Amino acid sequence: MEHHFDIGLPHPRAGSTASEEVGLTLADGIAYVQAALDAGLKVDDFGPRLAFFFGAHNDLLEEVSKFRAARRLWARIMRDRFGAKDPRSLMLRFHTQTDGVTLTAQQPRTT
């Protein structure tokens, strides 16, 4: 079975904005990639197996924009900073789930 390296998720729970979440999660990703390179691995050997977690909030357009920006930024980081050649290394594979920060403690009364 192929192993994947999962990066991200705690940032929205700590109160970050969408742009902060992307920046902090990608910074984590950069640290993982640099550590792997420092250990002697080749970026295109492990790059396709990286996976990210993001929180999903209530503003649909902001969330779509966040995911599109993160994908675009990650591809550039992998290509320009780390020299990845395999197109699969440039892909930002991710999972998202709703965050508890968007929930209310009690449903507001509407009557």
The DSSP string of 66-78 is HHHHHHHHHHHII
Whole-prediction pTM: 0.84
Contact 7, 52 (CB under 8 A): yes
Residue 103 is given by DSSP the state S
User: Across the chain, where does the E strand assignment appear?
Assistant: 5-8, 50-56, 93-98
> HSE-up of 36 (CA within 13 Å, CB side)?
17
Phi first, then psi, for residue 15 (nearest 5°) are: 95, 15
**pLDDT per residue as tens digits for the range 49-105:** 999 989 888 889 999 999 999 999 999 999 999 999 999 999 999 998 876 666 666
